[in-house]
Amino acid sequence: MTDIAPTCTPQRHPLLWPAMAALLIFGWSSGFIGIRYANEEASVFLLLFWRTLLSGLILLPFALAFGPRLGLRAVVAQMGFGVMAVFLYLGGFALAIEQRVPTGLVALIADLLPLAIAALSQPLLKERLTARQWLGTGIAVAGVLTVSFDSLSFGAAPLWAYGITVGSMLVFAFASVLHKGRKALHIPVHQSLCIHTLTGSVLFGICALLAGDGLSPPMTGKFAFGIAWLVLIGTFAAYSVYYTSLRMFPAAKVSAAIYLSPPVTMLWAWALFDEPLTATMFVGLAITLAGVWLTSRD
């Protein structure tokens, strides 16, 4: 069931969307930093367990004190969304990497998320993209492919691991469209994110135990820094801005900003880890910017 558009749409400041898009790109791309630090000290499932557990526990007192009182039906609906948007999305990519699907290919498939959301928005939300927006989407995809070209390889992972990579991206795309279209999911963002992350933490904890990793965190500075970064920026900044933007703007417009995540991630890697930048990356960044501008402009 889709939202009914109000007869009078409130005017928003013209700089609101650019500011929110910048925050979204910053949070989405910077998740790489936390993973880079924390994954050196712990397995992927243990890392995701502590990321989601701490995120949920920090938000819990605010979720209980501020906002409407949630009934069982609302909580169950949010838990279902948390399974899709947190556990299956993050866990699927983590499992794919663990099965030796090349990281560059995993990142490329993950960054095609806006294309899947754009395709689902038309039949499920009746948000029709114009010819200009489809052209912008195609240009942005070409930019992402250009940026990722040097790091692409297919590896020797089992076929099902590649399927999990694509499936995880499609699950999050469906969850995003579902969140946009169902008013039952529109509770305050801090409450919904609390339920999503706590749900994910239970499932990631079970996976860590089944894998024999235990639940004890490594007592190292790198792990602490990585988890702090993933909680504060990778979860709070990225997810909260993403959910809020979905409620205010068309889904395809919001997701288009994610196309800029790969080139911005490479700038992070250059600034913090001295990873090289190539002329191809800058060409890809320029192409992606042009595509996102065409897709997002009113």
The pLDDT, as a whole number, for residue 152 is 57
Q: How far apart are CA 37 and CA 32, in angstroms?
A: 9
Asked whether residue 165 carries a pLDDT value surpassing 60, the answer given is yes
The pLDDT, as a whole number, for residue 92 is 85
The pLDDT, as a whole number, for residue 142 is 81
DSSP 111: T
Give residue 181's pLDDT band: very low, low, confident or very high (50, 70, 90): low
Phi, psi of 227 (to 5 degrees): -65, -40
**In the chain, how many H helices and how many E strands?**
14, 0
The pLDDT, as a whole number, for residue 63 is 92
Please name the residues in contact with 116: beta carbons below 8 A apart, sequence gap of 6 or more.
169, 170, 173
Phi, psi of 29 (to 5 degrees): -80, -30
The pLDDT, as a whole number, for residue 113 is 78
The pLDDT, as a whole number, for residue 62 is 93
Q: What is the pLDDT of residues 75-85, one digit of tens each?
A: 888 898 889 98
Q: 3-state SS string over 34-74?
A: HHHHHCCCCCHHHHHHHHHHHHHHHHHHHHHHCCCCCCHHH
Q: How far apart are CA 1 and CA 40, in angstroms?
A: 44
What's the average model confidence in pLDDT over 116-139?
75
Query: Over the chain, what is the mean pLDDT?
Result: 80
For the entire predicted model, the pTM comes to 0.79
Higher pLDDT, 60 or 278: 60
| Half-sphere exposure (Cβ direction) of 105: Cα atoms closer than 13 Å | 18
Looking at 83-158, list the stretches that DSSP marks H as alpha helix, in order from N- to C-terminal side. Answer: 89-98, 103-110, 113-125, 131-148
Q: Judge contact between 24 and 243, C-beta under 8 A.
A: no
Asked whether residue 4 carries a pLDDT value surpassing 60, the answer given is no
